[in-house]
Amino acid sequence: MTGPADRPRAEWPLYEVFVRGKRGLNHVHVGSLHATDDEMALRHARDVYTRRNEGVSIWVVRSDAVAASSPDEKDPLFAPAGDKVYRHPTFYAVADDVPHM
Amino acid sequence: MTDHDTPTPGASTSASTSHDHDADHGSVFDGLLGGDDSQWAFGTDFEDPLAGVDTTIPDGVDAAALASYCLMLGDDALVASHRLSQWASNAPDLEDDIALANVALDLLGQARLLLTRAAAADARLVPRLPEGSPVPPEDALAFFRDESAFRNVRLVEAENGDFAETVARLLVFSTYRLALLQRLAGSRDGVLSAIAVKGVKEVTYHRDYAGRWFLTLARGTAESRRRLVAGLDRVWPLRAELFRTHAVERTVAEQGVGVDPADVADEVDVLLEQVLSVSGIDRPEVPPTGTVGGGAGRDGRHTEAMGRLLAEMQVVARAHPSGRW
């Protein structure tokens, strides 16, 4: 029996790309691309997203491996945080020599 | 000639003045190009590969031979770059379109440095342009030389064919060029050495890209394998020319500034054999392309494809010999 997974796909799987700009920063989602496998996705990400000297490290992950919240859950998930001003650390002065805050 | 398509940091100034009606909002790029170095969107820290390099010609080196040698390596890169850039908007998918354009731009950057070095070592090589023409020597060499003055191997001037043939050609060319550049890093000429050190990192990636696609196409579908085998058959006859030692190459090798290509033949052969072997592809049994009157690309004797390539590459520059680009 031939399942859907055995047939040649018309399109390569989609990957999400995360790039770290420099040491000490975190990886940031920059976009997505198509590739046949993880290795090719890394190389495509290098070619598409770091060609202007943007990065020192790349993560790629299959888009279908990302679990995402649903817009329907927006209110129960996020609305309760909207009025809790005391949770923001705005009552402290940030020292001048602390970067990336 | 330019090998970068990135907006220069100064470009944001002119962009914002030309859009005064939009001054309240400014350019959408303002935040990205600001002084905050944690922004990475357009990259930072571009390096000059020749910064601090001694550009004088070393003692005991024949300047004319050095210049001719730089033309050979520069023309290989320039012509290969032009062919690869023809894939822009034509590759099988967006990602490989950009990958091939990146490879082309890397090679164009190498060509610029090598042609500039050639002109500095022997100004007589540079075609004469009208009095007052602002065209720099590297551009004069690229766009105003006739076919017989180009010193590239014929491998790089051949028509692209399909993607599989391009992959096969890029594998052979990048394996050859990487072996040359690795040795050239030890050149007595500081400029050639610096160009080689920069090029090794670039061409290592080109070879990796081509090798991976070679394996993928060989082990992919029956159709991808058929196309790869057919493409390799067309590429293979021009391989032998890469390792013929030209008199100029012998001279610069003896003087410690260049590499005798015959010295890298075995290494290149072993590496190609490894790729063929893991891909399960037989070594093509096709005779090498012959020479013309005892000469080949390094002597300025090219194939029919070269004239059409140059016509396309040079037509705009030649129509405006005093143009500023």
Q: How many CB atoms lie within 10 A of CB A59?
A: 15
Q: What pLDDT was estimated at residue B299?
A: 95
| Residues B172 and B153 sit within 8 Å (Cβ to Cβ) | no
Size of interface A-B (CB pairs under 8 A): 51
Distance from CA of B122 to the nearest CA of A (A): 34
- CB-nearest partner of A53 from B43, B102, B208: B43
Residue with tokens 């990957």: A15
Q: What pLDDT was estimated at residue B42?
A: 45
Mean pLDDT of chain A: 84
- CB-nearest partner of A21 from B38, B94, B216: B38
What does the pLDDT look like over B263-272, one tens digit per residue? Answer: 999 999 999 9
Domains of chain B, by residue range, sit at 63-319
ipTM over 0.90: no
Query: What is the token pair recorded at B316?
Result: 């705009």
Is A40's Cβ below 8 Å from some Cβ in B? yes
| Residues B169 and B232 sit within 8 Å (Cβ to Cβ) | no
CATH 1.20.1260.10 is the classification of domain B63-319: yes
- CB-nearest partner of B102 from A40, A47, A99: A47
Catalogue all structural domains in chain A, each as residue range(s) with its CATH number: 14-68 (3.10.20.520)
Q: How many CB atoms lie within 10 A of CB A64?
A: 10
Return the DSSP state at A52: T
Is A25's Cβ below 8 Å from some Cβ in B? yes
Query: Would you place residue A73 in the very low, low, confident or very high pLDDT band (cuts 50, 70, 90)?
Result: confident
Best CA proximity match to A44, nearest among B47, B95, B229: B95
Residue in chain A nearest B221 by alpha carbon: A8
Q: What pLDDT was estimated at residue B14?
A: 40
Residue B169 Cα distances to A76, B26, B145, B161, B178, angstroms: 58, 47, 25, 10, 14
For the cut 80, the answer to whether the pLDDT of residue A48 exceeds it is yes
Q: Which helix (H) or strand (E) holds A29?
A: strand A28-34
- Dist. CA B80–CA B6, nearest whole Å: 22
Phi, psi of B16 (to 5 degrees): -75, -35
- Dist. CA B259–CA B186, nearest whole Å: 10
Q: What pLDDT was estimated at residue A8?
A: 63
Q: Which residues of chain B carry a pLDDT beneath 70?
A: 1-49
Query: What is the token pair recorded at A63?
Result: 């888009």
B99 and A44 in contact by Cβ < 8 A? Answer: yes
Q: What pLDDT was estimated at residue A97?
A: 85
Is A71's Cβ below 8 Å from some Cβ in B? no
| Residues B56 and B75 sit within 8 Å (Cβ to Cβ) | no
Q: What pLDDT was estimated at residue B46?
A: 58
Report the DSSP pairing between strands A14-20 and A57-62.
Answer: antiparallel
A19 and B102 in contact by Cβ < 8 A? Answer: no
Q: What pLDDT was estimated at residue B34?
A: 42
Q: Which helix (H) or strand (E) holds B80?
A: helix B63-85
DSSP string, B115-171: HHHHHHH-GGGSPP--TT----HHHHHHHH--GGG----GGGGS---SHHHHHHHHH
Spatial neighbors of B190 by CB under 8 A, at least 6 apart, are B53, B54, B55, B58
What does the pLDDT look like over B96-121, one tens digit per residue? Answer: 999 999 999 999 999 999 999 999 99
Q: What pLDDT was estimated at residue A21?
A: 82
Return the DSSP state at B259: -
DSSP string, B206-234: HHHHHHHHHHHHHTS-HHHHHHHHHHHHH
B221 and A8 in contact by Cβ < 8 A? Answer: yes
Which residue did the predictor score with more confidence, B260 or A51?
Answer: B260
B38 and A100 in contact by Cβ < 8 A? Answer: yes
Distance from CA of B95 to the nearest CA of A (A): 6
- Dist. CA B154–CA B299, nearest whole Å: 11
Query: What is the token pair recorded at B246?
Result: 């030209």
- Dist. CA A71–CA B188, nearest whole Å: 65
Q: What pLDDT was estimated at residue B52?
A: 75
